[in-house]
A = this chain, B = another copy of it.
Amino acid sequence: MTTPVPPRDTYRHGNLRHALLTVGIALARAGGPDAVILREATRQAGVVPNAAYRHFADRQALLEEVSARALAALALAIEAELARAPADADPATAARAGLRAVGTGYLRFAQAEPGLFRTAFAVPTSLDGPNAPPGVGERGLTPLQLLTTVLDDMVAAGVLPPERRPGAEFLAWSAVHGLATLVLDGPLRSLDQEQIAAITQQLLDMVERGL
């Protein structure tokens, strides 16, 4: 796995921070958060281990940045699914489709990029709050914000009673995130893609009905 890199001829690397991030993402993609090894990253960047400390306080700092990128990738996947949602004339139908799109995008991403998905949630402080900036997609929204938007649309379309709106994002998120976990690391690990797609629909039915 230690891809050897042609020795630099310049003393300066040029863009080590970016290089470490790129390698870090690749490592996370391939093996999840634990695979983000500082020394391995510097190795692949063609640099001595300590050089990393000029750009990141420690391994944790690198991991947090990588995690933020992973979260951004998730946001992008959700946005893509949202864009694919049928532009129904009926706002109620459209709003419901939006919620399903968010859930579907979330779960698709978890399956397609398990390493990144795990990495996105490996660092506790990377979902909201003060350090949100990097974890966003093209619209500049985090996954949570995308979900929030869709739920607001549902209230506006009269599909979700306003008194049930507060906290609804966490209920929907719990369901979808939980399923992702069970599918990735839990007892549903051995299901094939069709089965997962089926249970995803079932879950989204439950959420839609129950919210």
Residues of A within 8 A of B (CB): 121, 124, 127-129, 144, 167, 170-171, 173-182, 185-189, 199, 202-203, 205-211
Other-chain residue from B128, B181, B202, B205 in contact with A181 (beta carbon distance below 8 A): B181
Contacts of A127 in B (CB 8 A): 186-187
Q: Looking across the interface, which residue of chain B has its beta carbon closest to that of A206?
A: B210
Asked whether, in the complex, the Cβ of A188 is within 8 Å of the Cβ of B207, the reply is: no
Main secondary structure on chain A at its contact with chain B?
A: helix
Asked whether, in the complex, the Cβ of A174 is within 8 Å of the Cβ of B178, the reply is: yes
Alpha-carbon distance between A46 and B34 when the two chains are bound, in angstroms: 30
Q: Looking across the interface, which residue of chain B has its beta carbon closest to that of A184?
A: B124
Other than the given A174-B174, A175-B178, 15 more pairs (CB < 8 A) read A121-B186, A124-B189, A127-B187, A128-B187, A129-B187, A144-B187, A170-B182, A171-B199, A173-B178, A174-B179, A175-B206, A177-B178, A177-B182, A181-B181, A210-B211
Other-chain residue from B124, B171, B182, B210 in contact with A208 (beta carbon distance below 8 A): B210
**24 cross-chain CB contacts under 8 A:** A124-B186, A124-B189, A127-B187, A128-B187, A144-B187, A167-B199, A170-B182, A171-B179, A174-B176, A174-B178, A174-B181, A175-B175, A175-B178, A175-B206, A176-B178, A177-B178, A177-B182, A177-B186, A181-B181, A206-B210, A206-B211, A208-B210, A209-B209, A210-B211
